Structure 1
Amino acid sequence: MSNGWFESVAEAQRRARKRLPSFVYGALVAGSERGNTLRDNRAAFDELGFAPRTAGQSDKRELETRVLGQRMSLPVIISPTGVQAVHPDGEVAVARAAAARGVAVGLSSFATKPVEEVVAANPRTFFQMYWLGGRDDMLRRIERARRAGAVGLIVTLDWSFSHGRDWGSPRIPQRLTVAEALRLAPGSVTRPRWLLAYARTGRLPDLTVPNMAEAGAPAPTFFGAYGQWLATPPPTWEDVRWLRERWDGPFLLKGVLRVDEAKRAVDAGVSAISVSNHGGNNVDGAPATIRALPSIAEAVGDQVEVLLDGGVRRGGDVVKALALGARAVMIGRAYLWGLAANGQAGVENVLDILRGGIDSTLRGIGRSSVHELDRSDVVIPPGFERALGVAETEPAAVARETATPRILAEVND
């Protein structure tokens, strides 16, 4: 279509691949090591089916919900992703798209746009933090987010940034200097629309991270901030509790895959958890998030809000996650492909696709609201679930001990 509209997230991905230089696109689709977890995030959704109803459906369906205190037009949140070099407007375009479609946005500490600009574009902005630097450093970032007007905090713990990728990981430079631009030129000139978009701004893609800048100091590069993260000892549960006590608003802990850790998160006082494996970019071999979701939602879903991220590509995927206990899902690659394909309008397009898919799935299974969904709406094959961190004496462990290993198909994410 003349306006660049597309009808599926798969088409957005195809256009993104066609538009982006290989070193940019490769960074979007990469996963740790062999990519087993990356592929399973997607493949696991395909193993689940639906139990449709054929008559008596409501002619109107309710998609609205409330997540972390925010009223949302659909149960989808923009997940924070760093260094959005797929489009010059980056996180600001994404925030505007989310605001236009009535959903919240997460902003990464490693974003290329400052939190103040993103909050101005979408007042429903959650600021994401890694455990990085000392406690004084953490407090400075919290205060900046608070002053900017962020409505909540996302603390991400599911990241180890594996360099070992069997298919090769694209090199990301410290700064995109003229020399680096010349080195990357062969891959860029074959993608003239991406290059032209940046040429019109009069600047090269920015690989600095302004939300990590100290007062009066220049913003560090992505890898400068990454180096500081590497030098920081991993947080303890006491650190999580300490950080939560310094933020009096909604607090989401991202990266939980185990029941015992979900319970520790509740004890630490978090408002919500996201069942996450960082989109397959943490430990390769971790289960797909949708496999781990049911046992976690069953254990703590009555105490905190449970979200899910990883592998969501269709409205039907959102419905499956909600049926298995999630309050909402977070999307990452899907909206980045939309951003690459058509800027802000492309992100809005992706959200509209998910909205349409949720609505049509609800109609097909005879539900009038996302709040009515439960396990009876999905067909779960034997051995599908993975209950991690459950004592062997607990019923959930016994119920799931029939889970059998399976060979992951070599499919593209």
Structure 2
Amino acid sequence: MRRNPWFETVAEARRRAEKRLPGMVYGALVAGSERGRTIDDNLKGFADLGFAPRVAGHHAERDLSTTVMGVKTSMPVLISPTGVQAVDPDGEVAVARAAAGRGVIMGLSSFASKPVEEVVAANPDVFFQMYWSGDRDTMARRMERARNAGAKGLIATLDWSFSNGRDWGSPAIPEKVDLRTLLRLAPGVLPRPGWLWRYARTGRVPDLTVPNLRPPGGAAPTFFGAYGEWMRTQPPTWEDVAWLRDEWGSGPFMLKGVTRVDDAKRAVDAGVTALSVSNHGGNNLDTTPATIRVLPSIAEAVGGQIEVLLDGGVRRGGDVAKALALGARAVLIGRAYLWGLAANGQAGVENVLDILRGGLDSAVLGLGRSSVHDLCPDDLVIPPGFRLTLGGGAGPPGRGSAPGGGADAPES
């Protein structure tokens, strides 16, 4: 009997992805830096929060739509930019079509396996993501290409990656896929015929080059070639962030990777349109706190000046509601949609987005709200000591930061 391709939870999408993908590919989706404590805390942070539902006075119709940096989205969930999506032959194009079909914004990594032009053709609401990599002329050319392709906003990601070790070892990702590599990897790939068949039908092998970093008149670098360029680039200053913002022009500009209040304030000074409270999904410095714990202090500090988003650990629609209640404009998802893509291609990504929409709508209904914009801290059960303020920012009355920018004192 054939299994129903539809799944009801993101956890089931992950289970199906693990069964379908070769071990090294699946490992790249779940890996985090060092011991993986930040990944665990991203999930635990949402689990530690509770809801305070109402028993009557609910709204028969609820509005889940919003805007992010001036771009409309049917719900406050964005596709987070992730690198080379070899879990499916159509990769980012399949994700873009799914996002367009569900009316949400697509974030596209500069390390993507598909050109920005193809992705914008599949979904006109694209935010292009860049790292501080290469010289300024090179970065200016990349921004110009994205702008010419029709990208509506830029995401500058600065939180990846200051730690590259994993206690359990990194997955063995090849530099490129050729005949010799295929023969070497065959023992790990042949037990996953479903994934292999997807590529066999297209007549292609997984492409580990990054076309959005192709220099004029040259060949696209491999993922590791692009990573090497990033490692050789001098780390950016706040003046460099301001330059990026100015070079992008008047269009929307998001800074991704903020966990500290002082950094958030500097981001405002640099002229950003929005920031994402992010620890790169646990792939930055391990033991960085969960983003949901540091979100409230950042939202209180700068939320009146710029839009504040969050990524890290979102697996349910209820998680989206909790983030919004604590001050986020929207959230970005990464692993969740990649598991959907691995489980069932474009339809799997649509499936994940539908799951999040359904869970968010249920939360808004149960909390007695008519719109996602009405969610607030009163809708939550927040345990003592949950909130953290990093970077010396002043918290609410009675909760100063520890010297040097540590955690808030426990809440009473």
1:169 pairs with 2:176 = no
CA separation of 1:318 and 1:393: change in aligned 2, threshold 3 A: closer
Give distance in 1, aligned partners of 2:16 and 2:208: 23
CA distances 1:59-90 after superposition (whole Å, capped 9, x unpaired): 11110101111111000000000010100000
- For residues 375 and 394 of structure 1, the distance between their equivalents in structure 2, rounded to whole angstroms, comes to 13
CA contact (8 A) 1:338 1:350 kept: yes
* Residue in structure 2 matched with residue 295 of structure 1 by the alignment: 297
Map of 2:408 onto structure 1: 401
What is the CA distance between 1:3 and its match in structure 2?
5.3
Q: Partner of 2:298: helix, strand, or coil?
A: helix
Deviation at 1:168, TM superposition (A): 1.5
| Aligned counterpart, 2:128 | 127
Match of 2:253 among 251, 257, 267: 251
CA-to-partner distance for each residue in 1:77-122, whole Å, 9 max, x for gaps? 0000001010000000000000000000000000000000000000
User: What is the letter of the counterpart of residue 274 of structure 1?
Assistant: S
How many aligned residue pairs are there?
404
Work out whether 1:378 is the aligned partner of 2:380.
Answer: yes
- 8 A contact 2:385–2:409 mirrored in 1: yes
CA contact (8 A) 1:294 1:385 kept: yes
TM-score by length of 1: 0.96
Residue range with higher mean Cα deviation, 154-163 or 227-236: 154-163
Give the alignment partner of residue 367 of structure 2, picking from 365, 368, 385. Answer: 365
Alignment of 1:2-401 (within 5 A): 4-160=5-161, 162-247=163-248, 248-390=250-392, 395=397, 396-397=399-400, 401=408
Which amino acid letter does the alignment assign opposite residue 408 of structure 2?
Answer: E
Contact 2:389 2:395 in 1 (8 A): no
C-alpha distance in 2, partners of 1:317/1:339? 21
CA-to-aligned-CA distance 1:361-412 (integer Å, 9 cap, x gap): 11111111101011100111001111000257985425963349xxxxxxxx
Rounded Cα–Cα distance in structure 2 between residues aligned with 1:73 and 1:223:
36
Contact 1:26 1:170 (C-alpha < 8 Å) held by counterparts: yes
Q: Distance in 2 between matches of 1:205 and 1:167?
A: 25
Q: TM-score, normalised by structure 2?
A: 0.96
SS in structure 1 at match of 2:400: helix
Q: State the secondary structure of the residue aligned to 1:110.
A: coil
- Displacement of 1:179 in angstroms is 1.3
Q: Aligned partner of 2:160: which letter? A: W
The unaligned stretches of length 5 or more in structure 2 are none
Going from structure 1 to structure 2, the CA distance change for 1:391 and 1:290 (only over 3 Å counts) comes to closer
CA displacement at 1:266 relative to structure 2: 0.2
- How far the C-alpha of 1:162 sits from its partner, in A, is 3.0
Distance 1:392 1:77, change over 3 A: closer
After superposition, the C-alpha distances for 1:33-74 in whole angstroms (9 at most, x for unaligned) are: 000001100111000000010111011111010111111100
* In 1: Cα distance, 2:166 partner to 2:15 partner: 22
CA-CA distance at 1:230 after TM superposition: 0.3
Q: CA shift at 1:216, angstroms?
A: 1.3
- For 1:237, give the aligned amino acid: W
- C-alpha separation in 2, matches of 1:67 and 1:290: 19
Give SS of 1:273's match. strand
Identical aligned residues as a percent: 72
Alpha-carbon contact 1:386-1:403 (below 8 Å) kept: no
Aligned partner of 1:206: which letter? D
How much does 1:215 deviate?
1.1
Instruction: Report how far residue 160 of structure 1 moved.
Output: 1.2
Task: State the alpha-carbon separation in 2 of the partners of residues 287 and 279 from structure 1.
Answer: 11
Distance 1:301 1:374 in 2: 14
Deviation at 1:2, TM superposition (A): 5.6
* 8 Å Cα contact 1:32-1:161 kept in structure 2: no
Distance 2:183 2:44 in 1: 39
Q: Secondary structure at the residue paired with 2:199?
A: helix
* Structure 1 runs of 4+ with >3 Å offset: 391-396, 398-401
Q: Is the partner of 1:87 in helix, strand or coil?
A: coil
Cα distance, 1:163 vs. partner?
2.8
What CA RMSD, in Å, does the superposition of the two structures yield over aligned residues? Answer: 1.5
How much does 1:181 deviate? Answer: 1.2
Amino acid in the other structure paired with 1:262: A
Q: Distance in 2 between matches of 1:124 and 1:353?
A: 21
Letter in 2 for 1:239: D
Letter in 1 for 2:207: D
2:306 partner letter: V
Q: C-alpha separation between the residues in 1 aligned to 2:319 and 2:173? A: 32
Q: SS of the residue aligned with 1:246?
A: helix
Q: Secondary structure at the match of 1:307?
A: strand
- Find the aligned partners of 1:184 and 1:378 in 2 and give their Cα distance: 48
Cα distance in 1 between the residues matched to 2:395 and 2:255: 27
**CA distance, structure 1, for counterparts of residue 287 and residue 3 of structure 2:** 43
Amino acid at match of 2:409: T
Q: 1:155 aligns to what SS in structure 2?
A: strand
Correspondence for 1:410:
none
Name structure 1 gaps, 5 residues minimum: 405-413
Q: Is the 8 A contact 2:297 2:395 kept in 1?
A: no
